[in-house]
Homo-oligomer: A and B are copies of this chain.
């Protein structure tokens, strides 16, 4: 693939991605949780995580992660606990209410996306399925 074709593909994919950003946010419109909140909750859903780890995984700065955590705590969806081995560290843990909320939100979002996918024909869905591994690898290449 020559340079011109690479640049064209880069441009086209960027455009698709830009639209998706807006649509993903709208996907959450009638829900109780924002996309950022669901992401944060998903990160602590298997085990408690440090604020700094949440920030790194989300690609945001630590103060921004702190803010998210504080809001989620106020909503009763997570709690902040101490780390016995390091008193500077704050671990963020999902509450029962948080687990219920994140499960519910994930289900709603998946269903809406599935509904949109259903409007495509089989061949179109196949191209998306085939591209997912490459897109995942591309994301890896974009990571800092």
- Closest chain-B Cβ to A16's Cβ sits at a distance in Å of 5
Q: How many chain-A residues does the 8 Å CB contact rule pick out?
A: 62
Q: Which residues of chain A (89-144) have a CB below 8 Å from chain B? A: 106, 109-120, 122, 124-125, 127-139, 141-144
Name which residue of chain B comes closest to A115, CB basis. B141
Q: Which residue of B lies closest to A4 (CB)?
A: B114
Q: Is A46 positioned at the interface, with any CB of B under 8 Å from its CB? A: no
Copies in the complex: 2
Tell me whether A23 is interfacial, beta carbon within 8 Å. Answer: yes
Q: Which of A5-13, A66-74, A78-86 contacts B (4 or more CB under 8 A)?
A: A5-13
**A27 on the B face (CB < 8 A):** yes
B127 contacts A10, C-beta separation under 8 Å: no
Known: A59-B23, A131-B130. A110 touches B14 (CB 8 A): yes
